[in-house]
Amino acid sequence: MPQKKFYRSRAHCNPLSFNEAFDYPTRPDLFDWTEDHYPEHPTLAQDDAEMSGFNSQSAAIRPDVLDVGCGFGGLTMALSHALPNNTILGLEIRAKVTEYVRLRIVAQRKEHPGQYHNCSVMRTNAMKYLPNFFPKAALEKLFFCFPDPHFKRKNHPRRIVSERLLS
């Protein structure tokens, strides 16, 4: 299990800063979630006949529950256990924190075989790139815990919960 003290990071990150280090697909159907995020997803284990490459089964695996701004992954891990029939994805913008959550998930998968295969974490800017990963009406639940409110009008573009994101 990774130690949190080695993965400390600033509490806030400017989502509007020029940061093009994120990889994202041009269309949602071009992203294979099984490659890096869900290689042993429970749905894949049910069908052993089609285990080679990018097939229809792996194309059907797509996160349907998001934890936007997942932080150190507490809710993402709890949702994995509470919603075993869903596919959970934690989104975080900070690189060190994302790496901590990834290592935490890997450690839990080794410690508890057969569990935590329906959750993963991804480093991305949800404000900019969420439409590139998910088609319309593909998500069942969105969790926004502790979003920055930005009450001043000049900071309204920094709000994560916006009309563009929710449409």
Tell me which of 23, 36, 67, 148 is the catalytic residue.
Answer: 148
Q: Are strands 141-144 and 119-123 parallel, antiparallel or unpaired?
A: unpaired
DSSP 3: -
CA dist., res. 30 & res. 107, Å (int): 29
Active site includes 48?
A: no
Strand arrangement, sheet containing 88-92: 119-123, 88-92, 65-68, 141-144
The answer to whether the CB of 114 falls within 8 A of the CB of 84 is no
Of 84, 66, 36, nearest in space to 140 by CA: 66
Q: Which residues are catalytic?
A: 148
